[in-house]
Chains A and B, each alone.
With several copies, the nearest count.
Chain A
Amino acid sequence: MDLKLGGELDDFRQMVRAAVAQDLPADMRARQQAFGGLQSENGDALKWAAILHKRGWSVPHWPVEHGGQDWTPLQKFVFEDELASAWAPDVNWGATHMVGPVIYTFGTEEQKSRFLPDIRAGRYYWAQGFSEPGNGSDLANLRTAAVLQGDRYIVNGQKIWTSGAHDAEWGFFLVRTDPSVKAQRGISFLLIDLKSPGITIRQIPEINGEADLCETFLDNVEVPAENLVGEPGMGWTYAKFLLDHERTTSSFIYWNKRELRRARAIAEAEMLDGVPLAQLPQFQSRLARLEAEVAALEWSVLRVLAAEEFAYDLTAVASTLKVSGSRLQQAITELQVDLYGALAMRQFPIELAHQTPTPLWPENIAGRTATALGSRAATIFGGTLQIQRGIIAKLAFGL
Chain B
Amino acid sequence: MDFNLSDMQRMLLDSAERLVSDRYSLEHRRALRDHHDGFDAGAWASFAELGWLALAVPEEKDGLGGSIEDVAVLMIAIGGGLVVDPLVSNAVIAPAILSDGHDTNLLAEIAAGERRVALAHDEPGERYGRGPRITRLVRRGNGFALTGQKMLVLDAGSADTLIVTASIEGEDGTALVRVDKNADRVASEAYPLIDGTVAADIRLDEVDVTADAILVPAEHGQAVLDAAHDRAKIALMAQAIGSMEATLSICAAYLKERQQFGQAIGKFQALQHIMADMFVAAHQARSALYQSLAVATAGARERARAVSLAAITIGEASQFVSRSAIQLHGGYGVTDEYEVSHHYRRLLTLEKSYGDIDFHIRRIASLDAG
Contacts and interface: CB of A to CB of B under 8 A. Distances in A.
Interface of A: 1-6, 74, 131, 134-138, 141, 160-161, 204-207, 213, 270-272, 279, 281-282, 284-285, 288-289, 291-293, 295-300, 302-303, 306-309, 311-312, 316-317, 319-320, 323-324, 330, 337-338, 341-347, 357-358, 360, 369, 373-374, 376-377, 379-381, 384-386, 388-394, 396-399
B331 A380 contact: yes
Given A396-B279, A399-B252, A389 B270 contact: yes
B312 A292 contact: yes
Interface of B: 1-6, 9, 69, 73, 122, 124-125, 127-128, 149, 151-152, 189, 191-195, 199, 201, 245, 248, 252, 255-256, 259-262, 266-273, 275-277, 279-280, 283-285, 287-288, 290-291, 293-294, 306, 308-310, 312-313, 316, 323, 326-327, 330-331, 333-337, 341, 344-345, 348-349, 352-353, 356-362, 364-365, 369
Contact of B122 (A293, A342, A380): A342
A288 B331 contact: no
Nearest to B191: A346
A392 B276 contact: yes
Contacts of A317: 283
If over half of A's interface residues share one DSSP class (helix, strand or loop), that class is named, otherwise mixed; here it is helix
A358 B201 contact: yes
A379 B280 CA distance: 15
Given A3-B3, A380-B333, A342 B152 contact: yes
Contact of A342 (B252, B331, B352): B352
Contact of B287 (A2, A281, A300): A300
A4 B334 contact: no
B9 A1 contact: yes
A399 B369 contact: no
Given A297-B284, A347-B193, A376-B326, A393 B348 contact: no
Contacts of B356: 338, 341-342
A242 to B, nearest CB: 19
A357 B270 contact: no
B273 A386 contact: yes
Contacts of B280: 320, 323-324, 392
A138 B361 contact: no
B193 A345 contact: yes
Contact of B365 (A284, A307, A369): A284
B1 A5 contact: yes
Interface pairs A-B: 10 shortest CB-CB: A393-B272, A389-B276, A308-B3, A299-B287, A392-B276, A205-B336, A292-B312, A296-B288, A3-B294, A397-B252
